[in-house]
Amino acid sequence: MRLLIEHSRATLLQLLRTPAYSVITMLLPAVIFVFIGTTTTESRKGANVVMASFAIFAALGVAFFQFGVGIASQRESPWEKFARVLPVEPAIRFGATVVAATIFATVAVAFVVAVALILTDVGMIASSWLRLFASVLGGAIPMALFGIAIGYWAPSTAALPVANIFYLALSFGGGLFVPPSSMPGFLDAFSRVLPTRHIGELAWASVLDLPWPGGSWIWLLGYTIAFGGLAVAGYRRDEGIRYR
Amino acid sequence: MERVHKVFGATRALDGLDLCLDRGEILALLGPNGAGKTTAVSILTGLRRPDSGRVALLGGRPDDLAIRRRIGLTPQESGFPPALRVHEIVRLIRSHFPEPLTDTALFERFPLEAIWKRQAGGLSGGQKRMLAVAMAFAGNPDLVFLDETTTGLDVEARRALWRSIRVFRDHGGTVVLTTHYLEEAEALASRIVVIHRVKAVADGSVEAIRREVGQARVSYRGPDPDGLPGAVRAERNGEHVVVLASNADVFVRALVERGIPFVDLEVRPASLEDAFVEITGGAEG
């Protein structure tokens, strides 16, 4: 437990003092939200839906950048090599990454919510807030695994652009920027197989106080298994190259 | 380690290396780049697994956490998270060990006080090396691995490190160091293993290694000493001839008896460097 705290602390300090990471992941979603999310809707329901979309967008950034880009740059670093021979289980070091990511994601989402509360007519019952956070958290798990898969499969120099492309393409394709209802038919059909669309469906149902579409949880479970397998395979491949 | 083999793709990295380590000794692994020193250390510290052979360390496997809590080693250069401060890095490392060195004990051995609050990314190359070395000792381990540790340190820092290593040894610590500074192995090591072309080609005390190739280094200006008894190897450098002799007395007598016109005769004990060049066939580290 002590080691988990120490490693989390070190990870957080390192990331916080790296503005290129911390400012972008924590503040950028809120800033984009200010410019394009706060002006598009007049109704309270509409405001709730747009905030939910940007909350997902904020959590996705952490999943892609901390796990994806972070792992890609770490796995080739001499420090990583050194940390591996410290007397600590790999699970604890991974746990520290999860702790740090959770804190960053919470702050990023909190900024979006704060902007929404200040600038828009957002408002909903307590159970909707809880279900929104559950949806974002549940959706963050497969996406973090996807980030890990990118981190292990992409070369370190390519990880950042690759993560960026997937981040924006999945956010857009999932209907986080443009609601699926105003997408052309073929795009909507394509959107229905993306994980981000299903995170969106769950989050939108939460803020509109509608029942969760059960199918979306099953989709996310499937994505969790698929991305989890990809991440584990990437991890094993990297171990095989570096530490056989 | 016993009969350890290691292959990377088509490259044989270690071929049946046997290595035995006694408590309280300073063992130097010496050899040219690519000889297999770093691979040997990676396997000993559990970073890599051998393809075949057996490795035991402090009575256990090197990947066992309880064993690793008794081992210290240095991160490679510039390997620190750049935004962390020195004291934060030290704190993180020490948290892994049951009885780490206190700040005071650490400062006694390493001049870290001046950089204690600085971020690792802003340290000079020498300061990073020093921090890296201090990290090997910070956990107060029983066994320390130093892989090319003094490369890039200035003379003063290197001497200071040598002092810390001796203090550590005097308190019962065991050290394995790889180096291509022969001077360093000569100054510190109680035993030397020369690794060359993925095998251990010599193993013994500094004295024994030296004896293996010749007791003495004889130099003079004059013609070549072709076929003189007592010589192991001769090399010409301009006017100067340098001879490694297994028996300097016999060689010098023969030099005089044959009437070879030499001047500036000098005889001194062979250095480890001479031995190293001899053993590895002239391949420089």
Predicted pLDDT of residue B284:
42
Q: What is the pLDDT of residues A91-102, one digit of tens each?
A: 898 889 899 999
Please state, rounded to an integer, the average pLDDT across all residues of chain A: 90
What are the backbone dihedrals phi and psi of residue B179, each rounded to the nearest 5 degrees, phi first? Answer: -160, 155
More confident residue, B130 or B197: B130
What would the mean pLDDT of B43-58 be, rounded to a whole number?
Answer: 81
Cα B86–Cα B109–Cα A77 angle in degrees, nearest 5:
40
How far apart (Å, rounded) are the C-alpha atoms in residues A65 and A72? 10
Q: Does B48 touch chain A (CB under 8 A)?
A: yes
Q: How many CB atoms lie within 10 A of CB B239?
A: 10
Q: What is the least distance, in Å, from the CA of A15 to any CA of chain B?
A: 8
Please state, rounded to an integer, the average pLDDT across all residues of chain B: 81
Predicted pLDDT of residue B228:
80
Q: What is the pLDDT of residues A121-160, one digit of tens each?
A: 888 999 999 999 999 999 999 999 999 999 999 988 898 8
Lookup result for tokens 């320390």? B144
Would the ipTM clear 0.90, i.e. be above it? no
Q: Does B87 touch chain A (CB under 8 A)?
A: no
How far apart (Å, rounded) are the C-alpha atoms in residues B192 and A135? 62
Kindly report the pTM of this predicted structure.
Answer: 0.79
Chain A residues with CB-CB distance to B46 below 8 A? 85
Q: Are B83 and A10 within 8 A, CB to CB?
A: no
How far apart (Å, rounded) are the C-alpha atoms in residues A103 and B128? 30
Q: Are A82 and B88 within 8 A, CB to CB?
A: no
Q: Are B96 and A3 within 8 A, CB to CB?
A: yes
What would the mean pLDDT of B80-107 be, rounded to a whole number?
Answer: 93
As separate numbers, helices (DSSP H) first and strands (DSSP E) second, chain B gives 10, 13
Chain A residues with CB-CB distance to B47 below 8 A? 81, 84-85, 243
Chain B residues with CB-CB distance to A17 below 8 A? 83-84, 119
> How would you classify residue A231: left for phi > 0, otherwise alpha for psi between -120 and 50, otherwise beta?
alpha
What would the mean pLDDT of B235-241 be, rounded to a whole number?
Answer: 85
- Indicate the range of A52-66, A132-146, B79-93, B151-165 predicted with least confidence: B151-165
Predicted pLDDT of residue A104:
93
DSSP assignment, residue A37? I
Q: What is the pLDDT of residues B19-30, one digit of tens each?
A: 778 888 899 888
What would the mean pLDDT of A176-189 be, rounded to a whole number?
Answer: 87
- Indicate the range of A62-66, B36-40, B65-69 predicted with least confidence: B36-40
Q: What is the pLDDT of residues B147-162, one digit of tens each?
A: 877 776 778 878 888 8
List the beta bridge partners of residue B202. B194
Q: In this complex, which of A16, A79, A244 lies closest to B49 when CB atoms are compared? A: A244
Q: What is the least distance, in Å, from the CA of A75 to any CA of chain B?
A: 12
Question: Using CA atoms in the order A47, A52, A53, A56, what is the torsion angle rounded to 10 degrees?
Answer: 160
**Residues contacting B233, CB < 8 A, separation 6+:** B213, B214, B243, B244, B278
How far apart (Å, rounded) are the C-alpha atoms in residues B270 and B244? 7
How far apart (Å, rounded) are the C-alpha atoms in residues A145 and B244? 63
Percent of chain B with pLDDT strictly greater than 70 = 84
Q: Are B80 and A84 within 8 A, CB to CB?
A: no
Q: Are B47 and A81 within 8 A, CB to CB?
A: yes
Predicted pLDDT of residue A55:
95
Q: In this complex, which of A78, A86, A244 lies closest to B96 when CB atoms are compared? A: A86
Predicted pLDDT of residue B283:
44
| pLDDT exceeds cutoff 80 at B107 | yes
